[in-house]
Amino acid sequence: MTERLLTVEQLHVSFHTRDGDNQAVRGVSLHIDAGETLGIVGESGSGKSVTAKAIMALIEPPGEIISGTIEYKGKRLTELSEKEWRKLRGNEITMVFQDPMTAMNPVKRIGSQMIEILRRHRGLSKEEAKREAIELLRQVGITEPERRLSQYPHEFSGGMRQRVMIAMALSCKPGLLIADEPTTALDVTIQAQILDLLKELKEKSDTAIALITHDLGVVAQVCTRVVVMYGGMIMESGSVDDIFYRPQHPYTQGLLRSVPKRAGERERLVPIEGTPPDLLNPPQGCPFMARCPHAMSKCAELPPIYTLGPGHRSMCWLADEEAKTQ
């Protein structure tokens, strides 16, 4: 039986502003099993990155976790002290951020940053840490790793910096790696290399990966399950086949219609009209109602989560035959 690594239940996160509380995450529940890759997709502002930061206990004022539970290997993370978190973060759970340049110290050499992490978290000597850093850079495909250790972040290309970030994240052999838009702003060739690297590392290390992205093409390449977020909530979840070949929620269907097709398939893209909901004053019913081509009066009420098949769920009244007649 597959080990349940991470469980998030009814997570609510708000950001307190002068205009009111921005309810960025509203009742998110998800899980990640050991060794799997979960894709978390949705438009900008859907709550993907905030959910990830909440899992990592990186929500800072004016943000606050209002309610909900987060458990990792049965340990309730929402009850840990900052001292306990420092032991867990980086060792058991690590995160690769969207912009590696802002996540690295620009005035410290790559080698000193990697060696510091290895010595602090794994208790290695300086020489042992240096040898391990060289091997990690080699594993993520960076040539001449011995020479690269003495360089600064600005001397690396965007793709190489992302590789260094992945090497740093994996240096302590974590059980869970959260990758927040790891291929954004990279050209197609480098993007493919980073995705291949993530797949290869997962197979070798059995590390579970939560991949946050707005790119469904990326999800199709590397993920086993998918969670579709909108308006701070989960609209649909299921296997990659469920989401790509049997999408049930109108928002998921809209996302798929807006994805460019392969060369030679001439078909007009269909945009999702309208804008995401204002989370300072979120709708009481389905958050997608104002933009949904199938909206009906029942949608003014928040729909329950319907089970459509093994592991396939959708929060939409369309799954209820009785609701469609009202």
99-140 pLDDT, tens digit each: 777 778 999 999 999 999 999 888 899 999 999 999 999 888
Least confident of 26-35, 66-75, 87-96, 253-262: 253-262
Confirm if 162 and 177 have CB atoms less than 8 A apart.
no
User: Domain end: 147, 173, 199, which one?
Assistant: 173
d(CA 8, CA 77): 10
How many structural domains compose the chain? Answer: 2
Task: Using alpha carbons only, give the angle 305, 283, 98 rounded to the nearest 5 degrees.
Answer: 75
Beta bridge partners of 72: 6, 75
CA 187 from chain center: how many Å? 20
Domain assignment of residue 113, yes or no: yes
Q: What is the pLDDT of residue 321?
A: 67
Confirm if 153 and 110 have CB atoms less than 8 A apart.
yes
Domain assignment of residue 302, yes or no: yes
Query: Are both 154 and 184 inside the same structural domain?
Result: no
Beta bridge partners of 265: none
d(CA 187, CA 95): 22
Domain assignment of residue 198, yes or no: yes
d(CA 286, CA 289): 5
Q: What is the pLDDT of residue 140?
A: 85
Query: Are both 159 and 223 inside the same structural domain?
Result: no
Query: Are both 109 and 87 inside the same structural domain?
Result: no
d(CA 8, CA 57): 13
Least confident of 27-31, 47-51, 214-218, 293-297: 214-218
- For the chain, percent of residues with pLDDT exceeding 90: 63
Query: Are both 178 and 237 inside the same structural domain?
Result: yes
Higher pLDDT, 233 or 201: 233
Per-residue confidence band for 20, with pLDDT thresholds at 50, 70 and 90: very high
Query: Are both 142 and 184 inside the same structural domain?
Result: no
Q: In terms of DSSP bridges, do strands 37-41 and 225-230 run parallel, antiparallel, or are they unpaired? A: parallel
Q: Is the pLDDT of residue 185 over 70?
A: no
Query: Are both 55 and 181 inside the same structural domain?
Result: yes
Per-residue pLDDT averaged across 58-79, rounded? 95
Note the pTM of the prediction, 2 decimals.
Answer: 0.90
Query: Are both 281 and 199 inside the same structural domain?
Result: yes
Q: Is the pLDDT of residue 84 over 80?
A: yes
Upstream peptide bond of 153 is cis (omega within 30 degrees of 0): no
Query: Are both 286 and 296 inside the same structural domain?
Result: yes
Tokens of 230: 């909108």
- State the residue range of the domain holding 318: 4-92+174-324
Domain assignment of residue 143, yes or no: yes
Domain assignment of residue 97, yes or no: no
Domain assignment of residue 99, yes or no: no
